[in-house]
Copies of this chain bind each other. A is one copy, B any other.
Amino acid sequence: MGNPVSLSEHVIEAISRVVGNGPVVLHEPTFHGNEWEYVKECLDTTFVSSVGKFVERFETELANYTGAKRAIAVVNGTSALHIALKLAGVKENDEVLVPALTFVATANAVVYCGATPHFVDSEFCTLGVDAVKLREYLTRQTEQRAGLCINRGTGNVIRALVPMHTFGHPVDLDGIMAVAHDFNIVIVEDAAESLGSFYQGQHTGSFGLMGTLSFNGNKTITTGGGGAILTNNIELARHVKHLTTTAKKNHEWEYHHDEVGFNYRMPNLNAALGCAQLEQLPAILNAKKELYNLYQKEFSKIEGVTLVAEPMHCKSNYWLQTILLDEKETYQRDAILKATNESGLMTRPAWTLMNELDHFKNCPQMNLTGARLLVKRIINIPSSASLLKN
C-alpha cells in the first residue's frame, strides 16, 4: 500500500486543502473578544497581581461552565496537578497510576509529592487509560489491606489514578470510575487538554475527587500561563485555595501561616485574559469542531490514516486534531513528520512514553502494548480555531 513519499504527500495535501499552504503552527490562541479591555482594566487600576476582581470572576465562571461546584485558579496545570494529588493524600512512598502516554507534567506532579508514578496502558478509542486492561492488571497485581490498594510487587500503597483526557478526548470514565471504586483508589482527572469536553453530558474534570485544567498558550483557551482545580467538595476547595495562596490565615495585618503552603496563585492580569477567553470558548469550540469536519472530509479519502473522532457519548473539544496511521504504515511516521514540518505545516508525534524517560524507567508499569503502538501511530496536525479564517 503506497510508498513513503506518497503517504506524506497525501497528508500534506489533505492538511493544505483545509488550512492553506502555511506556514501554520500546531496551535495558537484566538483573541477576538474582550481580551484587551479586561487586561487594560488591570493595568489602569494597577490590580495585576494577587488582588483584583478577575481571579474570583474567572473561578466562578469556570465553575459555572464546567458544572463543578468550585474552581480554583492557579499558576499553571502542573501546579494544579501537584496540589490536587497532595490533597488527594498522595505522600512519600505511595504510587500513583498515570498513563505512560501523557505529557510529562502528569508524572512529574507525582514525584513532587514524593511518590512514584506507576505507568498504565492506553487504548485506541479514547487514546486514554484502558480501563479493561487496568482492571485485569490491578486484580493480578494488587491486594486490599485496611481499605488500601497495595501493589504486591513493591508493597506500596497505590493511592490515586490520574486519567488524562488525551488531546481533549474524554477517557472511558464509566470504566475508570468503576475500577477506582472497586480498588479503593482516588481519581484525580488530568483535564489539562479537555476544557470544553464532555462525557455523557458532564464536563471532564468534574468526575474525580478533583480535576485539573491548563490554560497554557497552546491550549483551547489561554491565560498566558495558568491552570485550575475543579472539585465538587466545598471543604476541599477551601483547602485548595488556602494551600495555593501560601496558607496564610486571614488577618487585617498579621502574617501567620498554618501549614507549608505554596505560591501557586494565578495573577489577576492572567485571570483577566482568562475571563475574556472563556467568553469566546463556545465560538472557539465550534470552530474546532468545524475544523475537524473539514479535515475529516479530506482524510476520509486517504488510505492508511484515520482522523481521530470524539468517543461515543462524548463531546470533544478537539483540542489537537490527530491522525492515526494504520499499523502497517507506522514505519512512515517520521517521514510524514519531517515532510509536513519542512513544508511549513507543523505536526508532532505523541510524547515519548513516560516509562522511556531515563528518570522514570525504573518505575513500576503494566504491560504497555497499547501505548507503545499508539506512539507509533499518532500525529497531531494544525488545530488552531483561527485556521478557519484562511
CB–CB A104/B246 < 8 A = yes
CB–CB A246/B105 < 8 A = yes
- 5 more contacts with CB within 8 A, not counting A78-B263, A253-B341, are A108-B261, A224-B268, A253-B348, A257-B357, A267-B270
A300 to nearest B CB, angstroms? 25
CB–CB A270/B224 < 8 A = yes
Chain B residues positioned under 8 Å from A103 (CB to CB): 255
Within 8 A of B (CB), among A78-117: 78-79, 103-105, 108, 111, 114
| Chain A 215-234: CB-based contact to B (< 8 A → 1; otherwise 0) | 01110001011000000000
CB–CB B225/A267 < 8 A = yes
Interface centre among A29, A75, A261 (most CB of B within 10 A): A75
A46 to nearest B CB, angstroms? 5
Complex-state Cα separation, A352 to B262, whole angstroms = 17
CB–CB B104/A259 < 8 A = no
Q: Which of B39, B108, B248, B349 contacts A254 (CB 8 A)?
A: B349
Considering only CB atoms and an 8 Å cut-off, how many residues of chain A contact the other chain? 66
Q: A103-B255, A224-B267, A253-B341 are in contact. Are A48 and B349 (CB under 8 A)?
A: no
Name 5 interchain pairs, CB-CB below 8 A, sorted by A.
Answer: A75-B76, A79-B263, A114-B114, A225-B263, A253-B348
Name the CB-closest residue of B to A357.
B257
| Chain A 27-70: CB-based contact to B (< 8 A → 1; otherwise 0) | 01111000110011011001111110000000000000000000
Complex-state Cα separation, A265 to B246, whole angstroms = 19
Name the CB-closest residue of B to A249.
B352
3 tightest A-B contacts by CB?
A49-B217, A224-B267, A78-B263
Q: Which of B39, B253, B257 contacts A104 (CB 8 A)?
A: B257
